[in-house]
Amino acid sequence: MKSAKSYIQEHKDRFIQELIDLLKIPSISADSAYKDDVIKTAQAIKNSLENAGCDVVEICETPGYPIVYGEKMIDPNLPTVLVYGHYDVQPPDPLDLWDSPPFEPVIKATELHPDGAIFARGSCDDKGQMYMHVKAMEYMTQTDQLPCNVKFMIEGEEEVGSESLGWFVERNQQKLANDIILISDTGMIANDVPSITTGLRGLSYVEVEVTGPNRDLHSGLYGGAVANPINILTKMIASLHDENNHITIPGFYDKVEELSQSERDAMAEAPFSLEAYQNALNIESVYGEAGYTTNERNSIRPTLDVNGIWGGYTGEGAKTVIASKAYAKISMRLVPNQEWTEITELFQNHFESIAPAGVEVKVTPHHGGQAYVTPIDTIGYQAASKAYESTFGKTPIPQRSGGSIPIVALFEKELGSKTILMGFGLDSDAIHSPNEHYGIWNYLKGIETIPQFYHHFVELSRES
């Protein structure tokens, strides 16, 4: 029987070309100007799932962007794997920081990707990683080695909060019934240090607006005598962290899961170089909450960050003005047991309460979601671990990530199943950033490793 390695070797040029074609469509879910392209991408995914051997493929309409559903059911007595991914991408801005246009993919070698990487928005997050599953499916069906039932659910709103997917999952529990959910939308430590993501942070995303006088004012005539919304907003934001970089919102830490010392010791064993971390970002020092290491700060601890701030005059030259309004977008990353709706409310109450007289404050909640932790004493995790062992020759390290895929906690609630996060990206792949890229080696290694997961999952299910 044909091995994945030789099948990939034979078809790799086409596998790469198909991904490049998909990356050319600017499926930016945040910007309604790209609506047609987002829908066109859903259609392209549908065609690719049909070509990969799915028996049923549907474009499921929702109140927002469609969800592409595909399945191949070979035997009701065998386990069912549900693959989730997203076909939407982040906006590519700022465009002038890209070395090549974001939707004209090019292959270039980098230090960490000597075999070449595809540079394009969505190459790693998540078109490239999602498409590995489509090609792994093609391999398994073409060589008669699909060992179980498969369902695909590929959405187009992940980067804007997965609202329609929540709607869809609640209405289609039967259709989506499965034994395990498999996602490639995270990263690993390094190409020679495979790891499996065992945790995702939750999220609460809010926008704030501070209003002062009813119109923009001459900063000489009025300066010093009325509240300046930008001055006030920055002062309010600065007060959200204390001198130890703890968040000052009352109640914010009340439910935070504290890890035991032995869990923290285990975390500290994962290979990590602070020097390499700093060098990669060109910073002289890291910065964060007192009492925690860098890897703890970016995975098991909650955070609060301004994602955007604006107001007043930002054009060329100078304009002496006190703006009537100032704005900011703020994200809070949450950890297990923090309720995202509760945190949003705590933020709202606190932020309103610290507003001084002379301004009005409005807080508008956006999306959010719960943190997620994958247990490692399950056949799902063991199957993934064995899969990496067989293709990387090393046991993968379990590691919690700081990123969020809010829908994963909802999957557990609505479908009752656990999720395995087999991500093949690297932190340096620049997702959400200019010059996003995805290693060709990682892409092909993913396609090789995924069928091994199926194989081991079915084997372990049989034994248990």
The residue with its CB nearest to ligand BES is 403
Q: Is 8 in the site for ligand BES (CB under 6 A)?
A: no
By beta-carbon proximity to ligand BES, the closer residue of 123 and 401 is 401
404 binds ligand BES (CB under 6 A): yes
**Which range of residues in 183-191, 194-202, 244-252, 376-384 is near Mn ion by CB under 5 A?**
183-191
Q: Is the peptide bond before 92 cis (omega within 30 degrees of 0)?
A: no
* Distance of closest approach, residue 406 Cβ to Mn ion, in angstroms: 11
- Residue 246 CA, distance from chain mean position: 25
- In 3D space, the residue among 64, 11, 65 whose CA is nearest the CA of residue 43 turns out to be 65
Q: Which stretch binds ligand BES (CB under 6 A): 38-46, 92-100, 210-218, 397-405?
A: 397-405
What number of chain residues touch Mn ion (CB under 5 A)? Answer: 3
What lies within 8 Å, CB to CB, of 179 at 6+ separation is: 79, 80, 81, 417, 457, 461
**Token pair of 231, please?**
């001055």
Alpha helices in 119-189 (DSSP H): 127-142, 163-171
Residues 101-120, interacting with ligand BES (CB under 6 A)? none
Told to check if 338 binds ligand BES by CB under 6 A, we report no
Write down the least CB distance from residue 203 to ligand BES, Å: 6
How far apart CA 4 and CA 6 sit, in angstroms, is 6
CA distance 228 to 212: 6
Considering beta carbons, is residue 405 or 415 the nearer one to ligand BES?
Answer: 405
E strand or H helix at 338, and its extent?
none
Cα 217 to Cα 277: distance, rounded to the nearest angstrom? 45
- Tell me how far, at minimum, the Cβ of 131 lies from Mn ion, in Å: 13
* 136 lies in the site for ligand BES, by CB under 6 A: no
Q: Does 158 bind ligand BES (CB under 6 A)?
A: yes
Q: Which of 88, 125, 138, 157 binds Mn ion (CB under 5 A)?
A: 125
Q: Is 283 exposed, middle or buried (0-12, 13-18, 19+ CB in 10 A)?
A: exposed
Minimum distance from residue 28 beta carbon to ligand BES (Å): 13
Q: Residue 196, interface with ligand BES (CB under 6 A)?
A: no
436 binds ligand BES (CB under 6 A): no
H runs (alpha helix) in 24-126: 35-51
Can you give the C-alpha Rg of the chain in angstroms?
23
Q: Which residues bind Mn ion (CB under 5 A)?
A: 125-126, 185
